[in-house]
A and B are shown apart, each in its own frame.
Chain A
């Protein structure tokens, strides 16, 4: 005879069984999503047919026929939309990399200044943080672009720093290095020096493990990095000569020109993001409890090693995850370029190309996937890193 108490419960209907309910619910959810998706797809199809737009990516091979203000690769008006995409992407990456570099620099300085025992310095840092993180980045970009850089004098009355740097309404002019006789010898020497530094670090670690004595790696590396290329440059001749911008007629020739759009965007994004980075750095350093410093001191460590071996490694564990998300924000905020006409991905591809071709869905989809790909790959990297440095708990 079967005992009902041992078998699966037969009381109540199917609908009270959590498993059945979960299945029903999931099927419902998927159906809803598919139905909405199909509805949108269907509408889009009929709308596109009505407007006579053929969907597809064939337009990427058509000639663009418009010029771009700044391009890192060769670009002419007869190039394809596909190449426009690459130009825009490279411009986005350029401003992102520049912005991340400067923002990290300012952010760490201000963050450490915020913790300074000097009352005035820490107040100044606090004022910086509170002012710049509470003003929309777009407003800051507009301020630098329209109120500052567009109000610069014409080339003839440029603001000059020495005879090499010039700032005027057309942009920032910098001297640029061009390869000279000794260029390749210099590159080889630099590569050798870097390899030497790696080898030195390895040897020093082994030496430290074996004998307990430290070898000054940092000064040694710096000497190697500076000395070897300098020596080679002395023997083989100078690797570069500097092309200095010169005023000829109404404009400057030679050197690098940084367009005002790029200057404004980089300045605004780095100043804005640096305020957030400073707060992250401050809270990261404060998160290392004072007991750690005291313990290190009681082990007889000096202030330098305490900072390097005890505080910074633990602070970095707290700092790095939010820091990466700030970097991601900066990359996403670089799309604000569209508002001042810096030719980034959104501005030239989701803007100009979309207007010319009418391929709204394709251009927006490509643009969004680029940002998604950047975000997702960085967050995957972050998760991996987080797992690696997470405290091993028992």
Chain B
């Protein structure tokens, strides 16, 4: 009687856990992937070390004149030297605390809005929106006891923020009205709103800014002269309102018809139906869209260079062509890019988080 002979053990499974397993699964799963990995590594090796050594290791961080920049890397002295101008433009140095205070108040005032458990948030938000703009204008422009700082002295990041925030805040109410008008049953109202929206969405912001600077003075009675900044703000607001209107329209369309019918069955009129039932739901849906519009607007504020306003980008550009600091254009643009990037990237991350959090109701 023969004895049973065991077959030899199978080899251990190929490594699929740990660092080696991860490498094998994600980087070297087949020959094509391995080739791609090698190419990617080569690309990284080409780009990253020179960039790092230019921006960090070989860079000059301290000094006061261009003569200090001899290390061969980036000359961050240039940025340090002009930093205040990049932030405040030509705002008088002894009055800059007013701008700081305005920003501080905005942040401090907005904090409760981000506390999820805060009671009566809506009441607070409306009060904040009604009070803060006046306070901010008073602090930055002056009057009533404060020294007046003309808007031609405003500049830098401060001006960029002013244009972006005023643009979006002015565009919101107008955009909501336009969106409602576009979905109205009244043909005349609908035609007016569609024309307005399609007109502004069809033209580039540059032409709108050109128009505001050369045509607005023609449109108004001759004794009225409006401030350059105000002209830009009007242009940006009208332009953004059309984009907000389309975003809000998307939200309105996403609300099921039953909501309209239910509100109608309760005997609500048009404005109460919209204000109490439809808009609260629709606006909640489109908050990420509005944040994205704001990001686009924030990037577009750089176009005011065309009409000669000194926003963050123009301040930096002017500094790079200043004979005293000629030849440091790359440092200037990299710094500008970094500031815009931090703002835009931060907001887009926030918008993505909101999207996940708010995606509660109408998901199917």
**Which residues of B sit under 8 angstroms from A30, Cβ to Cβ?**
188, 192
Interface size class of A (residues with CB under 8 A): 35 or more
A147 x B345 contact (CB < 8 A): no
Q: Could you say which residues of chain B place their CB within 8 Å of the CB of A142?
A: 313, 317, 333
Query: Are A139 and B186 neighbours in the complex by a CB distance under 8 Å?
Result: no
Determine whether the beta carbon of B303 is less than 8 Å from that of A46: no
* Nearest B residue (CB) for A360: B214
Q: Which residues of B contact A120 (CB under 8 A)?
A: 26-27, 36-37, 40-41
Say yes or no: B27 contacts A136, CB within 8 Å: no
Complex: A143 Cα to B313 Cα, angstroms? 11
Q: CA of A299 to CA of B27 in the docked complex: distance in angstroms?
A: 31
Q: Confirm or deny: B348 has a beta carbon within 8 angstroms of a beta carbon on chain A.
A: yes
- Is B144 on the interface with A (CB-CB < 8 A)? no
Q: A29-B192, A124-B40, A143-B333 are in contact. Are A336 and B345 (CB under 8 A)?
A: no
Select which of B214, B329, B340 is within 8 A of A134 by beta carbon: B340
B203's partner among A116, A118, A368 (CB-CB below 8 A) is A368
Instruction: From A116, A147, A346, A360, give the contact of B206 (CB < 8 A).
Output: A346
Are B186 and A136 neighbours in the complex by a CB distance under 8 Å? no
- Binary interface encoding of chain A residues 290-333 relative to chain B, with 1 for a CB under 8 A from any of its CBs, else 0: 00000000000000000000000000000000000000000011
Residues of B within 8 A of A136 (CB): 299-300, 302, 313, 340
**Are B207 and A50 neighbours in the complex by a CB distance under 8 Å?**
no
Q: Is the CB of A361 within 8 A of B218?
A: yes
> For A332, what are the chain B residues with a Cβ–Cβ distance below 8 Å?
203-205
> Does A364 have its Cβ within 8 Å of any Cβ on chain B?
yes
The winner among A25, A46, A143, A351 for most chain B CB atoms within 10 A is A143
B215 interface hit (Cβ, 8 Å): yes
Interface pick from B56-64, B68-76, B219-227: B219-227
Q: How far is the CA of A143 from the CA of B345 in the complex (A)?
A: 20
Judge whether B333 and A48 touch: CB under 8 Å.
no
Chain B residues near A133 (CB-CB < 8 A): 344
Which of A27, A44, A137, A147 has the most B CB atoms < 10 Å from its CB? A147
Question: What interface size band does chain B fall in?
Answer: 35 or more
Query: Does B85 lie at the interface of the complex (its beta carbon under 8 Å from any beta carbon of A)?
Result: no
Interface flags for A118-134 (1: CB within 8 Å of B; 0: not) read 11110010000011011
Is A338 a contact partner of B206 (Cβ separation < 8 A)? yes
A91 and B248 alpha carbons, distance in the complex (Å): 36
Flag whether A367 is at the interface (Cβ < 8 A).
Answer: yes
Q: Are A22 and B185 in contact (CB under 8 A)?
A: yes
Question: CA–CA, A26 to B184, complex, Å?
Answer: 11
Q: Are A139 and B214 in contact (CB under 8 A)?
A: no
**Which residues of B in the span 282-317 have a Cβ within 8 Å of any Cβ on A?**
295, 299-300, 302-303, 305-306, 313, 317
Interface pick from A7-15, A163-171, A253-261, A371-379: A371-379
* B124 close to chain A: CB less than 8 A: no
Flag A1-28 by CB within 8 Å of B: 1 or 0 each. 0000000000000000000001001110
Cβ of B211 under 8 Å from chain A: yes
How far, in whole Å, are A131 and B48 apart by their CA atoms in the complex? Answer: 14
User: Does B341 reach chain A (CB closer than 8 Å)?
Assistant: yes
User: Which of B41, B218, B299 is within 8 Å of A44, CB to CB?
Assistant: B218
Bound together, the chains give a CA A43 to CA B306 distance in angstroms of 26
> Within 8 Å CB of B221, what residues of A?
43
Nearest CB on B from A31, distance (A): 10
A117 interface residue (CB < 8 Å to B):
yes
Q: Whole-angstrom distance between the alpha carbons of A364 and B209 in the complex? A: 11
Q: Does A234 contact B (CB under 8 A)?
A: no
Minimum distance in angstroms from B269 CB to a CB of chain A:
10
* 23 A–B contacts, CB within 8 A, in A order: A29-B186, A29-B188, A44-B219, A50-B222, A118-B29, A118-B33, A118-B37, A120-B36, A120-B37, A136-B299, A136-B300, A137-B299, A139-B302, A139-B313, A139-B336, A146-B329, A147-B330, A333-B204, A335-B204, A336-B303, A360-B214, A368-B207, A372-B199
Q: Give chain B's interface residues, CB within 8 Å of chain A.
A: 26-27, 29, 33, 36-37, 40-41, 43-44, 185-189, 192, 198-199, 201-207, 210-211, 214-215, 217-222, 295, 299-300, 302-303, 305-306, 313, 317, 320, 329-330, 333, 336-337, 340-341, 344-345, 348
Considering the complex of A and B, which 7 residue pairs feature the smallest CB-CB distances, nearest first? Answer: A375-B202, A134-B344, A26-B188, A119-B26, A332-B204, A136-B299, A335-B204
